[in-house]
Amino acid sequence: MSDETSTPRPLKIAIVGAGPAGFYAAGQLLAATDVAAEVDLFDRLPTPYGLVRFGVAPDHPKIKSVIRVYERIAKKPGFRFFGGVEVGKDVSHEELAARHHAVIYTTGASHDRRLGIPGEDLPGSHPATDFVAWYNGHPDAADRTFDLTGRRAVVIGNGNVAVDVARMLALTVDELRETDTADHAIEALAASSIEEIVVLGRRGIAQAAFTNPELRELGEMADADVVVDPKDVDLDEGSKAWLERDGADVREQRNVEIATEYAGRTPEGKRRRVVLRFLASPVKILGDDKVTGIEVVKNELVADEDGWLSARATNETEVIDCDLVLRSIGYRGRPLPGVPFDDQRATINNLDGRVLDPETGEPVPGVYTAGWVKRGPSGVIGTNKKCAQDTVTQLLADLEAGALPEPTVAEDIADLVAERVPDHVDFAGWQRIDAHERALGEPQGRPRVKLTSVAEMLAVAHAAETETV
């Protein structure tokens, strides 16, 4: 950093949203060698880690071990966690901006995209986002109910979330009991009558968004057969050309190989079946007072001049009888009061992480974004590291250029938070929740038993506050 900079040390940054992007941005700011940063990380829940806690499937504990990286960041001098504080409700954007040099929004994408078809809101038709939040013990979803008394579920979408929810419906209770799946979900899934889970893609296997390990896992389930119709791996000319193009994606080629192997299998008569179906789009969810089926139209693939294949509906329709529909067609970010939002893309208006004023197209001084709310719901957890780094690079360049606004209020934000949300949770409070959950899980051989109510979390976070954790 140049000596001419007039910004007083320390550089005070507020980050809103304690998921992967928020933690990576915090870590990068605190690791910057030529600036003494102080980072205040806010989350509306008392628990940090966002989708690592509430999105990653419970039977993927290795993916969750990334938390150790975030714990090291939280130990760095200059880091503070304000859990249970909702920006936009408990404190405003303006109040944060007045007390920091910059605010970075890393609020993710917690809402579902909609299909826009009749019957979408019938009881028994749910966004996968709700189902994921429910089995992961998100406090907002703890009292949701999913009717698992039918025989067939249809999962719409060909992404990794669709695979996660299909797998969760197909795991045995013994497999679930080794995980940190919320107790209410283990109980409901243990009583589930679902025998068949149909995963429906609007395009073909060669266009599916699944990553290879996730698709492979479907073929390795203890008590569920995976079923693929050989016709679906007999590719059309457009798909063959797409897979053989220059710079073809190896992931797509491998997906076809994995599905081809599945198509050659004879079902072993396991208790459940996961049926992968392709080239079909839902047009209507059927039922009077609850889901009884889904009408789908058969699609064909049409190529544009670059060979990119889209789905086009034919005249052929079919009804798949089912009792549960989980719509897994992508997530959406949510607007925040005082922060420019692009409703079409469901992301904060930004260029490379600098938030833009929609009227002028100019950067809003001192306001940044990273993660899914910046770029949309794509990539794996590690993708957010680079995404956050790009944003932090812009922020530090603006600091260097003297383009960051000075805080206008000298009062520590902690004082305002203490006044507005006296029972907010700091990192030591979260560590008490963490230790408590782990202790509950230990005798059962589980990583943790999650607390699913905010009241319980607060009680544990504030119990014995003087004890060291």
Binding site for ligand NAP (CB under 6 A): 115, 156-162, 164, 201-203, 207, 209, 211, 214, 281, 328-331, 377-380
Closest CA relative to residue 200, chosen from 111, 289, 303, 115: 115
Q: At what angle do helices 427-441 and 454-462 cross, to 10 degrees?
A: 110
What's the min distance (Å) between Cβ of 195 and ligand NAP? 24
Nearer to ligand NAP, 330 or 363 (CB): 330
Nearer to ligand NAP, 93 or 385 (CB): 385
What's the min distance (Å) between Cβ of 340 and ligand NAP? 24
Q: What is the DSSP letter of 200?
A: E
Nearer to ligand NAP, 327 or 446 (CB): 327
Nearer to ligand NAP, 202 or 374 (CB): 202
What's the min distance (Å) between Cβ of 72 and ligand NAP? 22
Tokens matching residue 321: 């009888």
Whether the CB-CB separation of 235 and 278 falls below 8 Å is answered with no
Nearer to ligand NAP, 63 or 440 (CB): 63
Tokens matching residue 223: 């008590």
Nearer to ligand NAP, 212 or 260 (CB): 212
Nearer to ligand NAP, 334 or 420 (CB): 334
What's the min distance (Å) between Cβ of 107 and ligand NAP? 16
Q: Is the previous residue joined to 10 through a cis bond, with omega within 30 degrees of 0?
A: yes
What's the min distance (Å) between Cβ of 128 and ligand NAP? 7
Nearer to ligand NAP, 80 or 138 (CB): 138
Whether the CB-CB separation of 286 and 294 falls below 8 Å is answered with yes
The CA distance from 74 to 39, in Å, is 10
What's the min distance (Å) between Cβ of 134 and ligand NAP? 16
Q: Is the previous residue joined to 20 through a cis bond, with omega within 30 degrees of 0?
A: no
Within a 13 Å sphere around the CA of 398, how many CA atoms are in the beta-carbon half? 24
Residue closest to ligand NAP (Cβ) = 159
The CA distance from 161 to 151, in Å, is 21
Whether the CB-CB separation of 383 and 367 falls below 8 Å is answered with no
- Residue at 409: amino acid letter: V
Radius of gyration of the chain (CA): 24
User: How far, in Å, are 45, 399, 405 from residue 6 at the CA level?
Assistant: 36, 9, 11
What's the min distance (Å) between Cβ of 54 and ligand NAP? 12
Nearer to ligand NAP, 131 or 427 (CB): 131
Tokens matching residue 405: 């606004």
Whether the CB-CB separation of 396 and 403 falls below 8 Å is answered with no
What's the min distance (Å) between Cβ of 179 and ligand NAP? 14
- Residue at 86: amino acid letter: E
What's the min distance (Å) between Cβ of 329 and ligand NAP? 4
Tokens matching residue 249: 């994606």
